[in-house]
Chains A and B, each alone.
Chain A
Amino acid sequence: MSHAITAQDLSKHYRVKVRDPGLRGALYALVSPRYRDVTAVDRLSFQIEHGEIVAFLGPNGAGKTTTLKMLTGLLYPTAGTVTVAGCNPWTGGSAFKSRITLVLGNKQQLLWDLPPEETFRLNKAIYGIPTEVYEAQRTELVDLLGLGPLLDTPARQLSLGERMKCELAAALLHRPTILMLDEPTLGLDVTAQDAIRRFLLDYRARHNATMLLTSHYMADITALASRVLMIDRGRLLFDGSLNALVARTTPLKRIELTLAEGATPEQIARFGEIHHFEFPHATIDVPRDEATRASARILMSGAVVDVSIQDPPIEDAIRLAFAEAANTERPPAPPLVPLVPRP
Chain B
Amino acid sequence: MSTAALWARRYGALIRAAWLVDLQYRADIALWLLWGIIEPAVALGIWWSIASAAGGDVDGFTQLDFARYFFAVTLINQLTQAWDAWSIDHWVAEGEMNYRLARPLNPVHEAIADNLAYKARTGTIVLLVWLLAAWFWPIVRLPVHPRRWLLAAVAIVLGAAIRFFNGFAIGLLAFWTTRATSLIELQMALGVFLSGQIAPLDLLPHPVAVIAHYLWFPYVIAFPVSLLTGVGDSASSVAHGFIGQIVWLVVWWGAYRLVWRRGLVRYGAVGG
Contact = CB atoms under 8 A, between A and B. Distances in A.
Given A104-B99, A343-B264, A126 B104 contact: yes
A122 B17 contact: yes
B26 interface: no
Given A107-B95, A341-B265, A343-B261, A122 B102 contact: no
A74 B272 contact: no
B101 A74 contact: yes
Contacts of A107: 94-96, 98-99, 271-272
B114 to A, nearest CB: 12
Interface string B87-99: 0000000111011
A213 to B, nearest CB: 14
Given A102-B102, A118-B17, A341-B265, A126 B96 contact: no
A148 to B, nearest CB: 21
Interface residues of B, number: 32
Contact of A182 (B96, B260, B272): B272
B99 A109 contact: yes
Contacts of B96: 107
B238 interface: no
Interface residues of A, number: 39
A75 interface: yes
A157 B96 CA distance: 20
A127 interface: yes
A97 interface: yes
Interface string A64-93: 011001001111100000000000000001
Contacts of B98: 69, 74, 102, 104, 107
Contacts of B189: none
Contacts of B94: 107
Contacts of B102: 72-74, 97, 100-102
B230 to A, nearest CB: 42
A207 interface: no
Contacts, number: 94
Contacts of A14: 268
A125 B272 contact: no
Interface string A174-186: 0000000011000
A74 B17 contact: no
Contact of B13 (A72, A125, A182): A125
Nearest to A183: B272
A98 B104 contact: yes
A65 B12 contact: no
Contacts of A122: 13-14, 17
Nearest to B13: A125
Contacts of A128: 1, 6, 9-10, 104
B188 interface: no
A106 B272 contact: yes
A126 B110 CA distance: 10
A109 B6 CA distance: 21
A15 to B, nearest CB: 10
B21 A111 contact: yes
B135 interface: no
Nearest first, the 10 A-B pairs at minimum CB distance are A125-B13, A94-B104, A97-B104, A102-B102, A106-B272, A109-B99, A113-B24, A74-B269, A125-B9, A69-B269
Given A124-B13, A128-B104, A130-B1, 20 more contacts: A72-B102, A74-B267, A74-B269, A76-B265, A76-B267, A94-B105, A100-B102, A102-B102, A104-B99, A104-B272, A106-B272, A107-B94, A107-B272, A109-B99, A111-B17, A113-B25, A122-B13, A126-B105, A128-B6, A154-B24
10 contacts: A74-B269, A76-B264, A76-B267, A101-B102, A102-B98, A106-B272, A114-B24, A122-B14, A126-B103, A126-B104
